[in-house]
Structure 1
Amino acid sequence: MSRDLLTKAETYREELTKFLGDLVSIKSFSAGEREVVQRIRKEMEKVGFDEVRIDGLGNILGRIGSGKRVIAMDAHIDTVEVGNEKLWKVDPFGGVVSDGVIYGRGASDQKAGMAAMVYGARIMKEEGLLGDFTLYVTGTVMEEDCDGLCWRYIINEDGIRPDYVVITEPTNLNIYRGHRGRMELQVRTSGLSCHASAPERGINAIYKMSRIIAEIERLNERLTRDSFLGKGTIAVTQIFFKSPSQNAVADECTIQLDRRLTAGETKETVIRELQEVIQMAGEEAEIVELFYERPSYTGIVYPVEKYFPTWVMEEDSEIVLKTVNTYREVFGEEPFVDKWTFSTNGIATAGVFSIPTIGFGPANEIFAHSPDDQCPVDHLVRAAAMYALLPLRLSQ
């Protein structure tokens, strides 16, 4: 089986390379994915998907089969911005191929996964690797802005709730079984403005916040560590203030917090910790829970709170064992099982909806969001072979 699938996938090396190159050449920042969705639709129709549709949020859903078990393979198709173009060695939208590697924004994170999924599904259909399952290959939107928003929509509004989900974010062809969660919050202090020439007449909201920030820094050192996921963290990432002028004491100060959640940490524990921190600082402050409300490229606003739960699949869980065995079958070797350092759509599928979720993807996550964004063509070929067999094995 392994030799047959890898040989079959190898015959599509040129088409895989062109497809990923085309995807990279299309700018698709969050909430601007319309053009790349149409390119994916064209490829799905070309390779013989049974159904291709675009939902209200703008996700593209390709279906093969109509069996009892529902399996989804997911890739987000939005990217982060380019940043400083002077740091790039190639045109970030050139789809440049050099020495067997495709370069450009989104090559690793994560258009490579999209390209490999489409051709994995093609091989699956051509080789008759079909069973009593329905496969959805999903190109999802706005993940970089709000992980999991797309899957909340697919499950709640499209009515598609898979039995298993494969996340194709970059894993360097390893198997990943979870990652830390995260939460975005703000803390706000209030003061009393006055002329800066006599600051004692007012109450400086920035000074109040400074004492809270010092306690937050100490909190970060106390946060717990999980043997698999690692340590939870908290960081102040932005500071805002309001003041009548540069010559006045600030009457309001707000900080933005990035809280990474390890095993056992939840929204409730985060809020409770912050309440304790404010008390330890001897101040009064408001904790503000944030919501994502940006319109998608279709114009839909689908508000969700900026709380993204931690998720982990146990080593002896069915989805992990079946994925490991499929890897052995395809590649004839033992896989490396690990976790992502960043967050994925798994926060919704596994973290919110408790759907068994696993990660396997081409490219190395170290190149995500970097000016060296890249994916080896060999990874596309090998990932396509794995994706061709994995849905069948998960359904059995």
Structure 2
Amino acid sequence: MKQEILRKAEEYRDYVAQTLSEMVKIPSYSGKEEAICKRIKEICEDAGFDEVRTDKLGSVIARIGNGPKSIAFDAHIDTVEIGDPDQWEKEPFSGLIADGLVHGRGSSDQKGGAASMITAGRILKDINYNGQFTIYFTFTVMEEDCDGMCWKYLIEEEKLKPDFYVSTEPTSTRIYRGHRGRMEMMVRLKGISAHGSAPERGESAAYKAARAALAMEKLNKDLQPDEDNFLGKGTIVVSQIDVKGPSQCAVPDQAMLYLDRRLTWGEDADLAIGQVKEYIGKALDCPPEEIDVTMPEYTKRGYRDYDYSQELYFPTWKMDADHPLVESGVDAYKTLWGKDPVVDKWTFSTNAVATTGRHKIPAIGFGPGDESQAHAPNEINRIEDLVICAAFYAMLPYSLEKRI
């Protein structure tokens, strides 16, 4: 089986590169994925998947096999925008294949994983997979705007809850077993307006916002890593400050701070909100309960004209190194290439905040390309990574069958 999977993956080297190139050529910003999803559906049908459908939110779900256990391989197929076009050396949607690389926006984040998934599906069909797993390949939408919401919808509305989950976000073909969670918070502060010629008559919300921002800087320094220091410390960043008053010649009476909080293992929303209240309360010399801190709600209409929403809270997750799924990933890698993989974690967040952080489905990550390519100009992916990942995805169900 090892030799057959490796042979097929190599046979499909040009196919996986061309598939990625074609996907890169189709712009697919969050909420505008209709064209790419339509094309992915056609490619999966041409590849012979047993079932291909599109959910109400817009994600494409392809299936191979009909076993009693289930595993999902996931790639989000939306991308961020290109940013400053002058920073791109090649046209961002060229999909150029050259020198062992595929160029363009989304090549690593994260259409490369999608191309390898489709290729793995072809391999599994070629070798007539008929094992213990129903294997889902999910090509999900709106991740860049709200990571995990697509899977929250699949699990809670469509009732698709696999036994195991694999994110194909870029890992440089390493096995990842966790990442920090995150949440967003909004702090609202009140002042008392007065004419700008007599600021002593008022109470400036701007100065309160300044002291609150410095309090967040102190909180960030005080945050501690998780117990085993695998995920590292949490962080907090003031990403926006907005101050308003009756006029430009007045003491401002309203201020808003927007916070990006990264959560390590053992930290959750209640803890994070309590810390913000405590630190700002001290800075402003008032009781913590008087500080107005809320967690915003995200709502967006997808390309299928369906609205869905969730609070902007994305729970932390990590798997033990000896979990059967992690061990199966290591086994699959060693079986194929005769050496131990690097086992690590992401710096950024993925759809696993929903599958694993929220719904406790065991997960690992394994994807083509480098994390550093995400959201960067001149994005690329290595064709060799695409081939490696296609083989790994095809092998993993066989390795996992030995442990369940």
When normalised by structure 2's length, the TM-score is 0.96
- Distance in 2, matches of 1:130 and 1:200, equals 78
- Distance in 1, matches of 2:335 and 2:263, equals 35
Query: 1:160-199, CA deviations, whole angstroms, 9 ceiling, x for partnerless residues?
Result: 1100001000000000000000010011101122221111
Unaligned runs of 5+ in 1: none
Structure 2 letter corresponding to 1:14: D
1:129 is displaced (CA, Å) by: 3.2
1:97-176 counterparts in 2 under 5 A? 97-176=97-176
Is the CA contact (8 Å cut-off) linking 1:169 and 1:359 kept in structure 2? yes
For the residue of structure 1 that corresponds to 2:182, the secondary structure is strand
- Distance in 2, matches of 1:351 and 1:383, equals 24
Is the CA contact (8 Å cut-off) linking 1:193 and 1:251 kept in structure 2? yes
Query: 1:28-74, CA deviations, whole angstroms, 9 ceiling, x for partnerless residues?
Result: 11111110001101110000011111000001000111111011000
Structure 1 letter corresponding to 2:400: L
Query: 1:125-174, CA deviations, whole angstroms, 9 ceiling, x for partnerless residues?
Result: 21123302211100001111111100010011111110000100000000
1:331-346 counterparts in 2 under 5 A? 331-346=337-352
Residue 58 of structure 2 corresponds to 58
Is the CA contact (8 Å cut-off) linking 2:76 and 2:141 kept in structure 1? yes
For the residue of structure 2 that corresponds to 1:294, the secondary structure is strand
Which of residues 274, 289, 313 is equivalent to 2:276?
Answer: 274
- Distance in 2, matches of 1:173 and 1:292, equals 32
Deviates more, 1:282-291 or 1:102-111: 282-291
Residue 251 of structure 1 corresponds to 253
1:347-366 counterparts in 2 under 5 A? 347-366=353-372
1:267-346 counterparts in 2 under 5 A? 267-281=269-283, 282-283=285-286, 284-346=290-352
Is the CA contact (8 Å cut-off) linking 1:2 and 1:331 kept in structure 2? no
Residue 220 of structure 2 corresponds to 220
- Distance in 2, matches of 1:392 and 1:192, equals 67
- Distance in 2, matches of 1:243 and 1:294, equals 30
1:244 is displaced (CA, Å) by: 2.0
Identity of aligned residues (%): 49
- Distance in 2, matches of 1:394 and 1:143, equals 27
1:395 is displaced (CA, Å) by: 3.7
Is the CA contact (8 Å cut-off) linking 1:129 and 1:392 kept in structure 2? no
Cα pair distance change 1:290/1:395, threshold 3 Å: farther
Structure 2 letter corresponding to 1:372: N
Is the CA contact (8 Å cut-off) linking 1:130 and 1:392 kept in structure 2? no
- Distance in 1, matches of 2:367 and 2:152, equals 22
Query: 1:208-237, CA deviations, whole angstroms, 9 ceiling, x for partnerless residues?
Result: 121111111111111011310011101101
Residue 36 of structure 2 corresponds to 36
For the residue of structure 2 that corresponds to 1:107, the secondary structure is coil
Residue 190 of structure 2 corresponds to 190
Q: Report runs of 4+ in structure 1 exceeding 2 Å deviation.
A: 1-4, 391-396
Unaligned runs of 5+ in 2: none
Is the CA contact (8 Å cut-off) linking 2:51 and 2:62 kept in structure 1? yes
1:293 is displaced (CA, Å) by: 0.6
1:11 is displaced (CA, Å) by: 1.1
Residue 181 of structure 2 corresponds to 181
Residue 82 of structure 1 corresponds to 82
When normalised by structure 1's length, the TM-score is 0.98
For the residue of structure 2 that corresponds to 1:15, the secondary structure is helix
Residue 47 of structure 2 corresponds to 47
Structure 2 letter corresponding to 1:392: Y
For the residue of structure 1 that corresponds to 2:146, the secondary structure is coil
Count of aligned pairs between the two proteins = 396
Structure 1 vs Structure 2 CA RMSD: 1.1
- Distance in 2, matches of 1:294 and 1:192, equals 35
- Distance in 1, matches of 2:69 and 2:94, equals 40
- Distance in 1, matches of 2:196 and 2:291, equals 23
- Distance in 2, matches of 1:130 and 1:180, equals 36
For the residue of structure 1 that corresponds to 2:308, the secondary structure is coil
